[in-house]
Amino acid sequence: MKTQADVMKIKTKEDRRDRIKLRLRKRIAGTAERPRLTVFRSLSHIYVQAIDDAAGHTLATASTLEPALKAQMDGKVRGGNVAGAELVGRTIAERLSAKGLKRVVFDRNGFLYHGRVRAVAEAARKAGLEF
């Protein structure tokens, strides 16, 4: 992870996102009872992790690269669109519910709360997660 001095000069979109991510992570932390639900999106896929920052463990993951989720994707559902993001959001909520976790802290990871990131959050809420 980059330090604050490395991020002060914004030259690329990634530098801007890193700066926003540092600002968010100062305030957001996950625990065993309420893990941090972090989202990463690339052009063609979306990844979600539930992280216990106190212990440094990942409790659950879901992504559009998993064979189990790829089997559920049809022609219109892909990793790079909102429908694929909704599928990932529902999946992570089901996996956390199976572990007895209902409450999380949402970490947009420097991305705007819009489009696929928002779709993950809303699908997870509909599936039973609270944040």
Write the CATH number for 111.
Answer: 3.30.420.100
Count of domains observed in the chain: 1
What residues make up the domain containing 56?
31-126
pTM over 0.85: yes
Is 112 part of any domain? Answer: yes
Is 109 part of any domain? Answer: yes
DSSP for 78-125 reads -TTSHHHHHHHHHHHHHHHHHTT--B-EEE-TTS-SSTHHHHHHHHHH
Kindly report, residue by residue over 54-72, the tens digit of the pLDDT: 999 999 999 999 999 999 9
Kindly report, residue by residue over 5-41, the tens digit of the pLDDT: 665 688 999 999 999 999 999 999 999 999 999 999 9
Q: Please state, in angstroms and rounded to a whole number, the distance separating the CA atoms of residues 26 and 94.
A: 28
Q: Strand 105-107 and strand 36-41: pairing?
A: parallel
